[in-house]
Structure 1
Amino acid sequence: MGKLRLFFIGLIITFYPIISFGQDVHFSSFNANPMILNPANTAFGESVFRAGTMYRNQWETLSKGYNSYLFTAEALAYKNRVRRDGIGIGINFMADVAGTLSYGQQSLGLSLSYFKAIDQNKEHYISFGIIGNTSSWGYNQSNSIFGRYPEDSEGILLNQIRTFDIGLGLHWQIKANETHSLQAGTSLLHINQPSLSYYENSNINLPMKFNAYVSDLIAINYDNSISPTIYFQNQSKFMELIIGMDYNINISETSINQQIISLGAYYRALDAMIIMAKYKQNNFSCGLSYDINLSRLTPASKSYGGVEVWLLYSFSPNGYKRSKTTIPCPAF
């Protein structure tokens, strides 16, 4: 009986964050892939194609910590060369696995965006986006131990859930002057709140998620700039506020081989300090971030948090990239 009780306690701890509140896959490098942050960012910017990947490992000091994966691809499907208006399309795949039961989520999403210049100088833009996601949530049944009877009075316990949800996003960006490029955006995801329960008859749903962000790229001089950012998200009873800044250093030796190193520090309220390092060379960029745990789990995690690595490749035809009316790239 004691072992059975411990098993169910462990099962509740493992499933509780997802079943009760249905939180999404979480990345600290929220600004590494703009399309995931907001569907309105799909193919928005100076590139006509982008592809990226990201990996996160968290809480390895505990048994079978979290492992999260992300793959994205996006392209400019249509553009008006005169007005610099356009349509973007993107696809993403996310996976999250945790615990001895290999409990996790797999999600495939398709996003569309429409962006429009709202000034004659083509330095002021607004973008709208929509995303649809199909997801499966489940665990490895071969690693689980149940009693003789697979049914109980509450219904049949499933080992996999499938959901479909939609989301909307809005992004605004302006190059205010030669030293400031300001952007802000918001998105609302899981608008239809699909059912999310391991029992056939249940009213547990995946809650909507709201996020908003503001960032400003501020040039100090030709070779140095800073990017202060505020990010907020809310899902069910959970809220997250991240405040921080990147310091960007231009180490380019020639104009045709642009290289930028960025060092950043961010604070996630009441949870962690996030340290980031990024490198960009022409169309290729990569980054590394590390969470220093400051929450109540510090004794158990020994202050270790999560480590993330990411890669991003973008393609821009030379004529479009060097155009004086190029869409200002997101300052993230």
Structure 2
Amino acid sequence: MMKVYFNFRIIFVLICALTFTQKLKAQDVHFSQMEYAPLTLNPALAGAFSTFQGIAMFRGQYGSFATPYKTFTASLDGRLSAGMKNSNGILGGGLNFYNDRMGDGYFSQSTVGVNLAYNLKVSRFGRVALGLNSTFGQCSTNPSVGQWASQYDGTSYNPALANGEAFYAQSFSYFDLGAGAIYSLQTDIGHITNEADKGINVGVAAFHLNNPRYSFYNSSIQTLPIRYSVFVNANIGIMATNGILQPAIYFNHQKKSKELLYGVNYKQIIRNASWETSNIKEIAFSLGLFSRWKDAFVVKSMIYYGPFSCGFAYDINVSRLSLVSNFKGGFETFVRYDVNNFNRKKLRVK
């Protein structure tokens, strides 16, 4: 029988070493459960791990503010060629909707994206995927409801004063391009051997490759800088138990803004799903603790029942903004429907 070795201790130590040696300035608007907004993380994730997957997520941020940030995203992705026989390649596709609403000026951004990915088996347990993303976005604002610096008369806010902002338009649209790649190594043989399942996924992506124009002002040449995204996550089955460790690290870099999120989930399987019948479904839960560098601690929880799962995360803000946010960073919740028939066939282990 061929054995596959994964030195996860070394990988996890390197991840931790990296997180503790970097000095980063985190962004304030983001997802804490990035893996459940997959198409905004990496276009190559479309159909990478699911025959079909649907996710809806809501994030409320800085609830102590008069007008807190609100973000909603929903996505559908899956395998477009899952039924093809004698093929090591899988074509995946996905759709993603995103809406962000923030600030006293009621700034709103909405995007609709289409993803296409190709997933290729390169070894017994290894796969490589490449993905492309095209997105149409629209931004809008209502300057009449905001409070502007020029409307303060020296003692207090005076709405009768002009806001001094020369908006060319109260909305604009743009077209965006992105690309990504992932490498996945998954044993997925725990159901027929005594070995604990192990796996690791590594992904890199770049968004706003065409640097789309992004401004309400006609004279402005402001464009969206490229956002680079890197992630590493792993599943480490604990021998002779139904427990799984899931360490992960997510890094985003966009011009001068950098964000680093790292931590670990522990998943406890209460009942394993049957590989012989669909009537016996997996029941499990997970708990996690993550840190967003110099910004927040993140507590996560998740419940699984068959193809359905739901999760919750809460940010405890520890940055300088905590003085006005009262340590209330934000909360996230999501629901997910996930069907994966790709690996339900019997495996021959030589």
Q: Do Structure 1 and Structure 2 share a fold, with TM-score over 0.5?
A: yes
Fraction of identical pairs, as percent? 28
C-alpha distance in 2 between matches for 1:58 and 1:149: 27
Which of the residues 287, 308, 313 maps onto 1:289? 313
Residue 76 of structure 2: SS of its match in structure 1? strand
Contact persistence 1:54–1:309 (CA under 8 A):
yes
1:47-196 to structure 2, matched below 5 A, reads: 47-79=50-82, 80-119=84-123, 121=124, 123-141=125-143, 143-144=145-146, 157-175=168-186, 178-196=196-214
Contact persistence 1:284–1:314 (CA under 8 A):
yes
Which of the residues 308, 323, 327 maps onto 2:345? 323
Would you say 1:236 and 2:255 are equivalent positions?
yes
Residue 330 of structure 2: SS of its match in structure 1? strand
Structure 1 counterpart of 2:331, one-letter code: V
Contact persistence 1:172–1:184 (CA under 8 A):
yes
Give the match for residue 24 of structure 2.
none
Change (3 A) 1:193 1:147: farther
Give the match for residue 22 of structure 2.
none
Residue 39 of structure 2: SS of its match in structure 1? helix
Would you say 1:312 and 2:316 are equivalent positions?
no
Would you say 1:278 and 2:302 are equivalent positions?
yes
Deviations 1:69-97 (A, max 9, x none): 00111131114332342111111110000
C-alpha distance in 1 between matches for 2:100 and 2:308: 26
Residue 40 of structure 1: SS of its match in structure 2? helix
Structure 2 unaligned blocks of 5 or more? 1-26, 147-158, 188-194, 275-279
Structure 1 unaligned blocks of 5 or more? 1-22, 327-332
Structure 2 counterpart of 1:85, one-letter code: G
Which of the residues 211, 218, 241 maps onto 1:200? 218
Contact persistence 2:37–2:73 (CA under 8 A):
no
C-alpha distance in 1 between matches for 2:68 and 2:31: 14
Aligned length: 296
Residue 271 of structure 2: SS of its match in structure 1? coil
Contact persistence 2:112–2:135 (CA under 8 A):
yes
Change (3 A) 1:254 1:92: closer
C-alpha distance in 2 between matches for 1:92 and 1:113: 14
Displaced runs of 4+ in structure 1, greater than 3 A? 144-152, 176-179
Give the match for residue 10 of structure 1.
none
Change (3 A) 1:151 1:100: closer
Q: CA deviation at 1:195?
A: 0.9
Deviations 1:208-236 (A, max 9, x none): 10010111111113400101111111011
Q: CA deviation at 1:180?
A: 2.0
C-alpha distance in 1 between matches for 2:330 and 2:251: 19
Which of the residues 35, 40, 43 maps onto 1:36? 40
Higher strand share: 1
CA RMSD between the two structures: 2.3
Change (3 A) 1:88 1:311: same
Give the match for residue 7 of structure 1.
none
C-alpha distance in 2 between matches for 1:257 and 1:146: 63
Contact persistence 1:35–1:43 (CA under 8 A):
no
Residue 300 of structure 1: SS of its match in structure 2? helix
Q: CA deviation at 1:124?
A: 0.7
Contact persistence 1:77–1:87 (CA under 8 A):
yes
C-alpha distance in 1 between matches for 2:231 and 2:142: 37
Structure 2 counterpart of 1:303, one-letter code: F
Q: CA deviation at 1:289?
A: 0.1
